[in-house]
Amino acid sequence: MKIKINETLFKIIISTILFVLALFFKDYSIYVAFLVISYLVVSFDVFKEGIKKLFHGEVFDESTLMIIATISAFIIGEYPEAVMVMLLFEFGEYLSDLATSNSKKSITKLMDLRSDYVNLKENNGIQKVDVREVKVGDIFVVKPGEKVPLDGIIQEGSTFLDTSSLTGESVLREAGVFDKVLSGYVNESGVITVKATSVFASSTASKIINMLENSMEKKTNTEKFITRFSKIYTPVVVVLAILIVIIPVMFGGNFNDWLYKALVFLVTACPCALVISVPLGFFCGIGRSSKEGILVKGSDGLEKLSKLEAILFDKTGTITEGKFEVREIVSNEVSQDELLKLAAYGEYYSNHPIARTITQAYDKSIDEESIKNFKEISGYGITATVLDKKLIIGNEKLFDQEKISVPSVDTLGTTIYIAYDGKYIGYIVTGDKIKTSALNLVDRLKYESINQIVMLSGDNKDVVSKVASKTGIKEYYASLLPADKVAILEKIKKDKLTAFVGDGINDAPVIKLADLGISMGGVGSDAAIEASDIVLMRDDLDKIITAIKIAKMTQRIVIFNIVFALSFKFLMLILAVFGVASIWMAVFADVGVTLLAVLNALRIMKKKL
């Protein structure tokens, strides 16, 4: 932890020098004067903070306790103790702030994604301009060693990109013409020319940094408890300290002796360790997650993740790769080429993975003016007017609605039926691959005490059951509409804390409704970032296990800090009441417990999972 000279440390040093000098003066008035000046120098910020909080209605906090304790020490003539209490308190606060600041800087450095300038390509050459001046559609150049300043599409050149700051992936990614690049990537080799698809404010880097900066706004139940506890705890401590003086004195006790014990009690009771270490613990958990390529939108997301009981997965793009390929074309009264052409025209405006697969398989130019009245029916398929005739593409449910009979197809892939001008003309079978990380996912989740694992899909039962069988998922549902997924989720979450994992676009409503929404591979997707509580920046199911481990580790460390701090405080309070502890011991105990709790919280950033 690197010491930083600032105004607080400067005041502590001056106050310490004055305190030491006071001890060399035999003249009592000079001795007291130096101690008073030393006290005023070091306590100025504490009084300032206390008065500010007083005007905001926050009467009782650690500043109040220190002020009451030290002024009372002056009243009974314990001048050195008063100064040392404030000196040690301020030094402890300084070290705690320093540790917190260093932690935040290391986290901010992890997320130091934004570039301040862009090499903008203009008619008169390349100009270095402020990144905020660039518009969508502008062309810019990224040289080797530079960060990609804005999201875009490569127009010229090829390179290897370091994506670790966003995804946590150490392997360089090769990219060339027409590949998408995101702000925050680092260009490692060739010069690339990029067309901007975002402005600065809406770039991936800006969205991620804003998420991290606002992540502590969503408080956990633990943090809310500590806040409520402190508001009750501090005034109770003050009242008890007063009673410690009043009751014994009423029965003949020495006022100064019992006042001293009350001061030790007040200093010991200071809740610094809890107030500082608990929020810092969750902040470190969020920072560690970002380092691993996991964006957590709030500390409450970490707490829920640590207590998760059930997890629901979308199939396509989550359990499977979402990279379809055309496996079979079966035509009826038209050629296979004609069937594929009509299917490609019909799917042209859809963003569904199957639609993209069909248009890529066609691999020819499409006359957009030939396509009219395009309509995508979620969970069913597509209708459109192509070359002035109605085209229907979708599953059996859509064709049942349209009262068009289709053959039953037994295949591992997804069957897409096609009708044109009111007649069935054939079907196309597309297939998807199961992710390698999904094959042992069930066992790993059960090891983390998540025993209900469910897969939801709009695909037919045969396809879904085969995927479930290969992945070991016992509970699955097929042929679902978005509303069906919502109904299943609502039923499960009545009894269990439930997460839903999806691609963040088609499943946004279900992700939003879950106790915890998790988006897979959601970098650059507004729907993913908006709907979910956690965004996995790599399309990798292993990151879910990593996120759970970080959440559980964070929760363990935070709970340990709470138990440790309260137990030690309780022991010292008993010693204070019985006169065993001195005010110096109380301050050392308070500062020591706070620093130990802070250092324990910082372990989250480094501890092996």
Which positions are annotated as active-site residues? 314
Question: Closest Cα partner for 539 from 305, 294, 354, 290?
Answer: 294
* Residue 519 half-sphere exposure toward CB, CA atoms < 13 A: 28
- What whole-number distance in Å separates Cα of residue 3 and Cα of residue 10? 12
Strand ordering across the sheet containing 173-175: 173-175, 159-162, 186-187
DSSP state of 318: I
Judge whether 218 and 299 are in contact, CB under 8 Å: yes
Quickly tell me which residue has 């408080």 as its tokens.
219
| Cα–Cα–Cα angle for 352, 355, 359, rounded to 5 degrees | 140
* Residue 5 half-sphere exposure toward CB, CA atoms < 13 A: 3
Q: In sequence order, what DSSP letters do the residues of 94-162 get, joined into one string?
A: HHHHHHHHHHHHHHHHHT----SEEEEEETTEEEEEEGGG--TT-EEEE-TTPBP-S-EEEEE--EEEE
Judge whether 152 and 140 are in contact, CB under 8 Å: yes
What kind and span of H or E run contains 203? none
Q: What are phi and psi of 571, to 5 degrees?
A: -60, -45
Other C-beta atoms lying within 10 Å of the C-beta of residue 428: 27
Judge whether 58 and 49 are in contact, CB under 8 Å: no
Which two tokens mark 407? 């053959």
Judge whether 279 and 272 are in contact, CB under 8 Å: no
206-244 b/e (C-beta count within 10 Å ≥ 16 → b): bbbbebbeebbebbbebbeebeeebeebbeebbeebeeb
